[in-house]
Structures are given as structure tokens and as C-alpha cells.
Amino acid sequence: MPSASGLPQLIDAHYEALYRYAYRLSGSAADAEDLTQETFGKALARLPQLREPERAKAWLFRILRNLYLHKVRDQKRHKVVPLDAVGDLAGREREPEMPEIDPAKLQQALNELDESFRTPIILFYFEEFSYRDIAEQMDLPIGTVMSRLARAKVYLRSRLAPPDEPAGEPLPDKAAGPKKVTDGVP
């Protein structure tokens, strides 16, 4: 069981990653600093609960995420984009490197995502968590994590694609109804 004397090592080892995660979640440097500090405060109080020191990073990320969710629920400050109409991607592998993206535009697009989609994207692409680790962190099945990652990627591509590049498959027009097929020709 770790003791309070182990907190400085946790801070040294994980501060930067926690701050990046907090910044991506909140979109604000001040909020990220507050969340990171609050995370280490809660970690100090709960240090005896850390049973597997090698999983300290995931444990700290879970504390930070819970703090963030609590703040969001209290403040109701984020605009939410529904992703119910976004289709799933066939391939689930990591995409090749994207062209240079303006960090401010990326953060703005991340802020528009509902937290249930934002968290998997941040943990997978920015913090390199595995599907399993994300699923454990969010108490979700791995398939749900993969689906949310795919749907969030479609949304982010549509928001961040350069104007001269297609952003991916357009969303189906629900108002038009299903396409008729005559003799096998759409």
C-alpha cells in the first residue's frame, strides 16, 4: 500500500500527462491547472486505495475524469453535438498521420463533442491508452469504446478537413428517405 510519501513521485511521473488530458477535456489552461491540482489532492486522500502502483496513471486519469464530469454536470457549460446520425467506420485501425491541424481548431472541435465521445478520443490518441484501458476507465464494453472512437473521428474529420479535401462519407439525408432500387440499379 503506497503512502503519502509516494505522492511526489506520482506528481513527477504523471503531472504533464494529467495536465494535457485536463486541458483537452476542459479546453482551458486555468481549468486544466485546477483539475490537475484537485486530482492530486484527491489522490493524496485516496492513496491507500491504490492497490496496483503500476496502474497509477489509469487511477489518476479516472480521478481527473470524475472531477471533470462533476464540474460539467454542475455548470452545464459545454455545447453538445449529437452524434446519433454519424455512421460507424469499417476500419478500426489508427489513421495515418493527418496534415498539420491548428491546435485551437482541434480544441474547439473537441469541446463540441459530448464527453462520452471526447474522453475516448483523448485517451486513445493523445494519451495512448488501449481500448481495454479506456473501457475499464469508462465502465463500458470494448465494442462501445471502439464505436465511440469511430464516430468521434468521423465528426472531427468533418470539422478539421481542409476545405479542398473531402471530409469522409457524407451523412445520409434522412428527409429524402430510402433510395429505390429498380432491377439492381439504384
Answer for the pair 167, 158: CB distance below 8 angstroms, yes or no. yes
Answer for the pair 18, 56: CB distance below 8 angstroms, yes or no. no
pLDDT at res. 152: 92
pLDDT beyond 90 at 22: yes
Query: CATH number of the domain that 154 lies in?
Result: 1.10.10.10
| In a domain? residue 80 | no
C-alpha cell at 176: 429524402
Q: Are 68 and 126 in a shared domain? A: no
| In a domain? residue 66 | yes
| In a domain? residue 44 | yes
pLDDT tens figures, 124-158: 988 888 999 999 989 999 999 999 999 999 999 88
Q: Are 10 and 69 in a shared domain? A: yes
Domain of 22 in residue numbering reads as: 4-75
| In a domain? residue 39 | yes
Q: Are 58 and 120 in a shared domain? A: no
Average pLDDT of the residues in 163-168: 56
Average pLDDT of the residues in 15-33: 92
Query: CATH number of the domain that 67 lies in?
Result: 1.10.1740.10
pLDDT at res. 141: 93
Residues contacting residue 164 through CB under 8 Å, at least 6 positions apart: none
| In a domain? residue 87 | no
Domain count, the chain: 2
C-alpha cell at 44: 493524496
Question: Dihedrals φ, ψ of 185, to 5°?
Answer: -110, 125
* The model's pTM: 0.54
Cα 87 to chain centroid distance, Å, stands at: 18
| In a domain? residue 185 | no
pLDDT beyond 60 at 90: no
| In a domain? residue 86 | no
Q: Are 12 and 64 in a shared domain? A: yes
pLDDT beyond 80 at 100: no
Considering only CA atoms, which of 148, 97, 160 is closest in space to residue 124?
Answer: 148
pLDDT beyond 90 at 21: yes
- Mean pLDDT, the chain, rounded, equals 76
CA atoms within 13 A on the CB side of 135: 11
CA atoms within 13 A on the CB side of 147: 11
